[in-house]
Each structure stands twice: as structure tokens, then as C-alpha cells.
Amino acid sequence: MSQFTWTDPSVRQALGLSPDLADPSLEYASVSTDSRSVGEGTLFVALVGESFDGHDFVVDALAKGATGAVVSRPVETNPNAPLYPVDDTLVALGSLATFRRNALDVPVVAITGSSGKTTTKDLTRAALGMRRTVHATPCNHNNRIGVPLTLLSTPTEVDVVLVEMGSNEPGEISTLSAIARPDIAVVTTVGESHLDRLGSLAGVLDEKLDLFRSMTEGGRCVVGDEPPALVDAARAICSDLRIAGWSERADPDLRPEQFELDVFGAPRFRWRGHPVTLALPGRHSVANALISLAISELVGVSPRDAVRGLASAEVSPLRCEIRQIGNVRVVADCYNANPQSLRAALGVLIDQPGNSRTVAVLGTMLELGHEAARLHEETLEYALGLNIDLVVATGGFAEAAEALKVDEPEVLRFQDWRKAYPALRDWLEGDEVLLLKASRGIALEGMLPLLDSDFGSKSTSTVVGKA
């Protein structure tokens, strides 16, 4: 697919620079913030971070073929190289993305939520993909760098743009949605996440609702049906709202019918008379799928085609990913964690078919601020009420177990999961279902190669549904 062509005048216009010195013959084939990946004709944006300064790489980027650079301080380079001076290169990146977004004449869909946003994006891409050419946020590049780069990399031949948005501080969604100006705005759910900066559940809700405040005229909204406060708030803001999920709050035509779990614990249900099969487990996945179906309908894809697309969906790694390691079935859901998503993951564990023993390895839920101790204790109490055969409480959950004076033999406490693994290995007999759940910073996926070494082999360690 061909890319949008930037000219010197359009760059200057996007950045609010004087057009007097513009060179109409000067063109850029792409915009990049990574000097390692620049190519011929790239416009390099020199971002500044806590541990790096892109200005140190401007010369290298130009040597590799970049034609010009956006900078916020002087750099020593070829005097003939076009440099665009700005006050803040991150803001400039957003300005370039805003210009590109305004040039689009196709629907832009923005998806946020405390959990489920990446999975919902992946499902939506699959549902739309049967009849539409889709450009979507890669992986979970959903911040003030990733969202602009998603828009800036949008090909000219595309039917729909899917933009995932995340936030861990007040005002971030407002900034991102002002750049993307979605035609369809989606909030999957709201839960207790990033409380260290957002403060409370009410703060999280208000942050997510900012997505609805920057839509295009006539924009349409889609939300999940949990929690009720999200639905109530969305109804107060959105004039065109679709609600998807399990409860009576959901629109009648966006609820599942004839729900069941297959032999891998993956959902099957019917929607508008069509059988829906998902390749990922969990009842919560049904709500995400219904949201994607609602989006597909708004974009104009038929229910039949959207359902066919869902059947082939591949979600991003480590999000309720089922792995068969020898005779141990592992639910690897350790890309991120908050109380809401952890309870959903526990539901996947106990819904696994068969009579295998169940094990939950729980790692710290990060970024919960002053509520961290309470939320770890409440979530651990919830887990202990599910009759799981063994709970391995590490990090914040080990501290919660100590605070709750948990002394049951089916609960192991370790500050670090690496120290917990030998005890877990000795407990396992090779016929268990094992959940790995923690925030990304805990790197709990590091337990997978250990399990593979002790219980699997190259011929038996597989990703269920993808192998």
C-alpha cells in the first residue's frame, strides 16, 4: 500500500511554522521517531525521553536517508538539511498526526478501557477484515507516541482506521482523542487501574469518558455493559450509543444467546442467528466480541461477514493465551493486571473443562497507588473463595496473604515468583490447569520457559488454537 506523501509546505502547516521558506519540491515518504528504522525520504522527529534524546541521533538518521528532522534544540548537521524548529517535539508529533487524521476520509475508530482494549481491537480488526481494509494500532502502542505513529503510518488505500488508546494519568485520553477525533468511540469497561495517578474509580471513569468529548460531529459510541456507572455516564454524553454485554443494560441485539464453552474453555454462542466461535477463552471475551460486532455493524459490515471474521481472529500474545505444556495447560494472561481483569482471568481458570487440579500464580498488580494493599487483599479473598487447588501468592499478593493471616496449606507465599517456582514445580504432577496473572512489569511470563523445561518438550509445548 502506498503512503501519504508529505511536502515541505504541509509539514510547516502542520507544525504552525512560517510558509515563507517552504520548498514545494521537497517531499517526505514517511515520519519516524526511531533513527534505526529510517529510510530514504523519512522525516525524523527527535523525541526526548527520560533516558534518551533523539537529537543525539539526528546526524545518524540523516546519514541513513532521512531528508529532514523536527527538533527542539540546535543540532550540528549538514547546513542544507531541512530542520523544523519547535518547542516540544512530542507535541509536534501529535500535530503531524492531527494533520494526517484531518486528511482521512474513512471512519476512525478509537478504543479505550481499563481492560480488554487490545483484545477488542484485535477482534474488531478480524471482524472488519472480511470486507474492509483495516489499519490498526500495532501491538498495544497506545500512548502519546503510539497513537500519533498509528495515524501517521495509515496507508492511502484503507477503509477503516482502528486506534487503541491507553492512559495512566489525567488528561491523556483528552490529548489523544483530540488528535484522533474518532467517528466511533469505544470504551470496553472501567475498573480500578492506574490509581496511582488517576486516584479513584471515579477518576478512571472521567478519564475514559474524555474519548466521547472529542468525537467528530455525529460521532457514535459503543460501551461494554460493566460497570453500571459507565453505562449511565455514556448515556448522559452520547446521543448515539450502543451497549454490548451480558446484562439487561446491554442492547437486546448485543447480548449472547445459547452460550457454551468448548473443550478448551473457549466461548461459543449465537448472535442474531449466527454461530460465533472465538479462539480465546473466557466469558469476558464474549463481551469484547460483542463490542467488536457492534463496531462492525456501525462501519457497515454485515453480521454474517463479521462473525466469519471473528472465527479467524488472532489476539496479541499473553492475553488469556492457552498453552499446552506437556500435560499442564497454562493460561498465560500476564501482559497486565488490575482487580477487574484478574477476576476475569480466574474465571477462565475455573471454567477450564475436565477434572484437572487448578493453580493460580498471582503477581503484583502495579500502579494502584494508595489502594494497592486493599485491592490485593480483596482480590486474594475472592480467589480463595473459588476452591482453587493451589494459589501461589507473590509480591503484593504475598503481602496480602500475610495481612489476612492466610495459613491454608493450599496457599504458597513468596515475595518473588522466581523463588516460588521450585515449590510450584515440586507440587505439580503434570495434570493441572495453571493460571499466570500479573502486571507487565512483573515479567511473570518468564515462568513459561521454566515450565516448558520441566514439563514439556518442543513437540508438546503449543499455543492452543494457533499451533
Average of per-residue pLDDT across 352-368: 95
pLDDT over 90 (residue 262): no
pLDDT over 90 (residue 21): no
Q: Under a CB-based contact definition with an 8 Å cutoff, are residues 266 and 280 in contact?
A: yes
**pLDDT tens digits, 86-126:** 999 999 999 999 999 999 999 999 999 999 999 999 999 99
* Lookup result for grid cell 503484583: 364
* Lookup result for grid cell 477462565: 348
Average pLDDT taken over every residue of the chain: 94
Starting at the edge strand that comes first in sequence, how are the strands of the sheet with 42-45 ordered? 30-32, 42-45, 68-71, 83-85
| Residue 463: band (very low, low, confident or very high) from pLDDT cuts 50, 70, 90 | low
Query: Structure pTM?
Result: 0.93
**pLDDT tens digits, 284-325:** 999 999 999 999 999 999 999 999 999 989 878 899 999 999
**pLDDT tens digits, 281-290:** 988 999 999 9
Cβ atoms < 10 Å from Cβ of 187 = 29
pLDDT over 90 (residue 233): yes
pLDDT over 80 (residue 1): no
Fold of the CATH domain 321-463: Protein-Tyrosine Phosphatase; Chain A (3.90.190)
Q: Under a CB-based contact definition with an 8 Å cutoff, are residues 256 and 246 in contact?
A: yes
Q: Which residue has the higher pLDDT, 30 or 314?
A: 30
- The x, y and z cell numbers of residue 174, run together, are 483528552
6-86: CATH, from 3.40.50.2000, 3.40.50.970, 3.40.1390.10, 3.20.20.80: 3.40.1390.10
CATH number of 104-311: 3.40.1190.10
- The rounded distance, in Å, linking the Cα atoms of 395 and 368 is 14
pLDDT over 60 (residue 464): no
**pLDDT tens digits, 62-77:** 999 999 999 999 998 8
Cis peptide bond prior to 107, omega within 30° of 0: no
Q: Which residue has the higher pLDDT, 283 or 451?
A: 451
pLDDT over 70 (residue 28): yes
pLDDT over 80 (residue 129): yes
Q: Under a CB-based contact definition with an 8 Å cutoff, are residues 228 and 210 in contact?
A: no
- The rounded distance, in Å, linking the Cα atoms of 172 and 152 is 19
Q: Which residue has the higher pLDDT, 466 or 120?
A: 120
Q: What is the predicted pLDDT for the residue at 277?
A: 92
Q: What is the predicted pLDDT for the residue at 94?
A: 98
Average of per-residue pLDDT across 175-192: 98
Residue 346, amino acid: L
DSSP 8-state assignment for residue 233: H
| Residue 462: band (very low, low, confident or very high) from pLDDT cuts 50, 70, 90 | low
| Residue 61: band (very low, low, confident or very high) from pLDDT cuts 50, 70, 90 | very high
Q: What is the predicted pLDDT for the residue at 457?
A: 65
pLDDT over 60 (residue 242): yes
- The rounded distance, in Å, linking the Cα atoms of 120 and 296 is 12
pLDDT over 50 (residue 461): no
Q: What is the predicted pLDDT for the residue at 467?
A: 28
DSSP 8-state assignment for residue 210: G
Backbone angles phi, psi at 435, to 5 degrees: -100, 130
Three-state secondary structure call for residue 355: coil
Domain assignments of the chain as residue spans, ordered by start: 6-86, 104-311, 321-463
pLDDT over 50 (residue 465): no
Q: What is the predicted pLDDT for the residue at 355?
A: 87
